[in-house]
Chains A and B, each alone.
Chain A
Amino acid sequence: MQCLTRASGIDQLNNTGTDTLLVADAPSPVIQIFRMLWRDKLATTAAIFLLAVICCALFGPMLLEDVATKQNLRGRNAPPFDFSTAWTFWLGGDALGRPLLARIIVAASNTIMVAAGAVFFSLLIGSTLGLIAGYTSKLGSQIIMRLADVIMSFPSLLLAVIVLYMLPASVGNLIIVLAITRIPVYLRTARAEVLEIRERMFVQAATIMGASTPRIVFRHILPLVFPTLITIATLDFAFVMLAESSLSFLGIGIQPPEITWGLMVAQGRPYLTSAWWLSFWPGLAIILTTLSLNLLSNWMRVALDPQQRWRLETSQQSD
C-alpha cells in the first residue's frame, strides 16, 4: 500500500513499535494493564489512594470502631497537628472529643458503601433503560422517557423523605433512594448516545450481516457509550456522598452514632468559624476520593479505546 494517509502512517509506525515489544516479551493481559497504568503516573497515584480508601472501608470499622466512638471531653475540638497526642488525634478531635482521623477511617465504610451502591445501581438501571429506550420502538422509548421525566420533576429530597418515611433509615434503603433519584442522568445520556451511534455505518453493516438486536446493542453500541457513562458515574460519586449527608442532616439518612463523611461535614458545620478542621478533613476525603476516581476513569477511557491506547503503550518519546 503506497498511499498511506499521513495520520495512519504515524499510527503504523507506532504500532510496529509496540508489536515488536509485544512479541519480545509477550506479557499477559494483566501485566499489560499494569504497564499502561504505570505510564500514567497520576492514574497510578489515584489507584493507590483508592486502594487505601477501600482498605479503610473494609478493615477500619473492625479495628478502630471503639477508638472512633470513645468520647473524650477534654479533647473537644482539639486542634490538628498536635503530634504529642495519640496518632488518632493528629487531625484533631471533634465536638465530643472523638479522634477525627479514626472517625474518617471508620466512616469510609458507610460512605463508600452508600456511594458505590447508589452509583452502581443507578448506572446499571439507568444505562439499561437508556439502551432500551434508544434502540426500541417509539412507544417503548416514550414510556421510559416520560418515567424519567417524572423522576426528574420530583424534588429528590421530597422523594427521599417519602420513601424513608415509609421505610426505616438504613444503608440499604438509602442506596435505593439515592439510586432512584440519579437514574435519569444515565438514562438520558445513554439514550442520546445510542440514538447517534445506531445510525452509524458499522451498526448498519452488522444489521446486514444478520446480527441480532442484543448483539448490536451489547457488542457494537455499548462499548462506545460505556466510557461516557463511567465518566458521569465518577462525577456522580461526589454528588451522592453529599446528597447522603444532606439526608443525614434532615434526620432521615444515616443517623449517629453511625458515621459517614457527609455526616461529619454536616456535624462540623456549626463550628466552622472556630474549628475548621471538623468539616475540612472529611471534606478533603470526599474531594480526594472523587478526584482519584476521575483520574482513574480518565485513564480507563484511554486504555479502553484502541485508537487512544498507544498513548499509554508507547514510552515517552513524545512531548
Chain B
Amino acid sequence: MTDHLLEVQQLSVEFHTTGGRVKAVQDVSWHLDSGDVLAILGESGSGKSVSAAAVMDLIDMPPGKITSGKILFNGSDLLQMSRTERRKINGQKIAMIFQDPLSHLNPVYTAGWQIEETLTIHGTSKKQARQQTLELLERVGIPDPATSAKKYPHQFSGGQRQRLMIAMALALRPDILIADEPTTALDVTVQAQILALLNDLQNETGMGLLLITHDLGVVAEIAERVVVMNAGRIVEQGTARDIYRNPSHPYTKELIAAAPGKGDMPADHSRRPEALLSVQGLSKSFGLFEAVKDVSFDLMAGECVAIVGESGSGKSTLANTLLRLQEASTGQAIYKGRDLFTLSAKDLFAIRREIQMVFQDPTQSLNPRMSIYQLISEAWVIHKEILPRTLWNDRVHELLNQVGLSPEHAKRYPHQFSGGQRQRIAIARALALEPKIIICDEAVSALDVQVQAQVIALLSRLRKELDLAYLFIAHDLPVVRDFADRVIVMQNGRIVEQGSVRKIFENPSQPYTRSLLASSLDPDPDIQAARRATRQVESAEQDTRT
C-alpha cells in the first residue's frame, strides 16, 4: 500500500467561482516510484496540473478546496501535515519546474546567486554553495559556468533559462521532480535537448519524474507510464506504448488520431503558371541586425505555402513586412503586377482587402470590447463598397455558419468563447473582406491538438471553397505536413530550403531541415525510441572522433 514514493489517492479538488462550484479534478489516483517517469497528459482545462499543484501545496484555498483524497509521500499524508512540515518537503524532497522560466526567475539577481540562495536557505555554507552551483551549471549544460553564474536571467536564451530552472530544482537532490509543461515555450530543437537532459538526470539520480504535458510527442519521448486526463477525470492509464498502440477510451483514441503529421501528404500537383504574390530579394533590418535576409518566393493562387522556422528565424517579420506593418528595407513583393512595398496609402487601402491575416493568439487579436457582430462587420464599416448595411446581419450569420459557429453567437463577446472558437471568429473576420490571400501567423500554435486539427480542417475546406491562398507560418513541421503544398524552411532570416511538402519531408537536402525533422517529436513511442537510439549512436561516434 505505502510502497510507492508518491501516491495520490482519490483526490478531488473543487474551485468556488462566481459561476458556482467547479470540480477541477475528481477521484484522481496515480503513483510514482523512484526511477519512474510518469506523464500526465491532457488538454487545457482537463485538470492535469491540479493534482501536481495539490502535491506542492500550490492550490489557493479558498477559492480552491480539496474535498477528498490523500497524497502519500513516503507513506505519510501530505494533506494532514502543517504548512511548516510541508515546506520542508517542498524543494528539498519534491522540486518543480514550470513552463515559462523567465517569469520564475527573479530578474534583478544573477543566475548564480539564485541557485546559491536555494542551497544556503537549506543550510549549505556559502563557499560550498558556490562550488555546487558551478557544478550544477556545468551538469545542466550551461556553457562556461563561472561567467554564466554572474549573468542575469534576461541574458540567457529560453532553453538556457529552463536549464537554470532545472539546476535550481536539482540543487537539493530531490526525490521527485515535477515538470509542468517544461518544453512548451521552447523551439523543437531545444525541446529535444531539454528532454534529453531531463532523461539523463533522471537516470543518473534515480529520482521520480512527473511530467505534465499536452503533447503526445513529449510523452512518447520520455515517459514510461502515462495518465490521460479529460474534464477532471482520469480516462485511462498505462504504459506509454500500450496507450498509444491500444487506446481503449474513445477520448484517447480521438487525441491520438488528432496528432498532426500522420495524414497523407498532398501529391506534388503542378503549380498554376502565374504567381499571385511574388516576393523578390526581401530584406528587413533593425539597425545593424538583419531580421530577414534576401528572401524570395512565389505564392500561386489557391496554394498553401508554409514558412517554418524556429524563434528568431524572421518568419513573423516577413509576414509583417508583407502587410506593411513594418517597412521592408529592400526588395519587392509583386501582387497583381504592383509592388506592395511602394504603394501609396490610398492604393494600399484597396489592397488591404485582398491580403488578410490570422494571428497566433485570438485572445489578443480580437478587441475585447466589441461583440462578434461588431468585430466581423467592422470590415464593411471600413470597406463600404463590399456590402450594403441592410445585408450585414445575414452575411455575419452566413460567415459564422461557414466557420462552424452558430448565428446566435453574434451577440456575444470574445471572452465567452474557447480558444478554438475565437480563432474561428478571427478567421470569419478575415473572410468578411473576401481576401485572396490569408497569412496565418502561427494561427494554430496556441491551440490544443484536437482543436488544432479542427481549425486546420476548416482552413483546408475554406481554401477549396473560396480558392484562397495561404501563407502559413509555423514553428512546427508536423502541423504543415498534411496541409501545405510547399514548405519554406527559414533560419536566421534566410531561406534554408524550399520545395514541395513531399520533397522537404521525404528528402530534405539541408542539414538544418534534417535536424528540425529529427527533433520534432513523434507521438509513437517506438519511433521516438528508435530516434533516441540513432541520436545516441551519432553522439557516441562524435565522441570517439574528437
Q: Which residues does A use to contact B, with CB under 8 Å? A: 1-15, 19, 200-202, 204-212, 215, 219-220, 223-224, 305-307, 311, 314, 317-318
Most chain B Cβ neighbours within 10 Å, of A7, A215, A220, A311? A7
Say yes or no: B19 contacts A11, CB within 8 Å: yes
Say yes or no: B365 contacts A12, CB within 8 Å: no
Please name all residues of chain A whose beta carbon is closer than 8 Å to the beta carbon of B420 when the two chains form the complex: 1, 3
What does the 1/0 interface line of B408-440 toward A look like (CB < 8 Å)?
100111011111110000100100010000000
Say yes or no: B418 contacts A5, CB within 8 Å: yes
Tell me the residues in window 322-371 of chain B with beta carbons closer than 8 Å to chain A beta carbons.
323, 325, 348-349, 352-353, 355-357, 359, 361, 364-369, 371
Distance A15 CA – B418 CA, assembled complex (angstroms): 13
Say yes or no: A8 contacts B417, CB within 8 Å: yes
Q: Is B22 an interface residue (CB 8 A)?
A: yes
A311 and chain B: residue at smallest CB distance: B18
Tell me the residues in window 43-65 of chain B with beta carbons closer than 8 Å to chain A beta carbons.
43-45
Q: Is B491 an interface residue (CB 8 A)?
A: no
CB distance from B441 to the nearest CB of A (A): 10
Say yes or no: A202 contacts B413, CB within 8 Å: no
Q: Which of B348, B359, B369, B417 contacts A305 (CB 8 A)?
A: B369
What does the 1/0 interface line of B5-34 toward A look like (CB < 8 Å)?
000000000000111101010000000000
Say yes or no: B18 contacts A208, CB within 8 Å: no
Q: Is B257 an interface residue (CB 8 A)?
A: no
Say yes or no: A215 contacts B419, CB within 8 Å: no
Say yes or no: B416 contacts A8, CB within 8 Å: yes
B413 and chain A: residue at smallest CB distance: A306
CB distance from B28 to the nearest CB of A (A): 15
Say yes or no: A306 contacts B353, CB within 8 Å: no
CB distance from A318 to the nearest CB of B (A): 4
With contacts A11-B416, A306-B371 known, is A208 near B352, CB below 8 A? Answer: yes
A15 and chain B: residue at smallest CB distance: B416
B404 and chain A: residue at smallest CB distance: A1
Sample of 17 more A-B contacts, CB < 8 Å, known A6-B22, A11-B19 = A3-B45, A3-B451, A8-B415, A8-B417, A8-B418, A10-B18, A10-B20, A13-B19, A202-B367, A205-B357, A205-B366, A209-B379, A210-B352, A211-B382, A223-B369, A305-B368, A306-B415
With contacts A6-B22, A208-B352 known, is A1 near B421, CB below 8 A? Answer: yes
Q: Which of A200, A206, A223, A317 contacts B364 (CB 8 A)?
A: A200
Say yes or no: B382 contacts A14, CB within 8 Å: no
21 residue pairs bridging A and B, Cβ less than 8 Å apart: A1-B451, A2-B450, A3-B420, A5-B45, A5-B418, A9-B45, A10-B17, A11-B19, A11-B416, A12-B416, A13-B19, A19-B408, A202-B364, A202-B365, A202-B368, A209-B356, A209-B379, A210-B382, A306-B368, A306-B413, A311-B18
Please name all residues of chain A whose beta carbon is closer than 8 Å to the beta carbon of B381 when the two chains form the complex: 215
Q: Which residues does B use to contact A, with CB under 8 Å? A: 17-20, 22, 24, 43-45, 323, 325, 348-349, 352-353, 355-357, 359, 361, 364-369, 371, 378-379, 381-383, 408, 411-413, 415-421, 426, 429, 433, 448, 450-451
Distance A66 CA – B365 CA, assembled complex (angstroms): 61
Q: Which of A7, A8, A215, A306 contacts B369 (CB 8 A)?
A: A306
Distance A6 CA – B353 CA, assembled complex (angstroms): 36
With contacts A8-B418, A11-B415, A209-B382 known, is A201 near B451, CB below 8 A? Answer: no
Say yes or no: B412 contacts A15, CB within 8 Å: yes
Please name all residues of chain B whose beta carbon is closer than 8 Å to the beta carbon of A206 when the two chains form the complex: 367, 378
Please name all residues of chain B whose beta carbon is closer than 8 Å to the beta carbon of A8 when the two chains form the complex: 415-418
Please name all residues of chain A whose beta carbon is closer than 8 Å to the beta carbon of B18 when the two chains form the complex: 10, 14, 311, 314, 318
With contacts A6-B24, A8-B415, A201-B364 known, is A208 near B19, CB below 8 A? Answer: no
A226 and chain B: residue at smallest CB distance: B369
Say yes or no: B418 contacts A1, CB within 8 Å: yes
Distance A300 CA – B45 CA, assembled complex (angstroms): 32
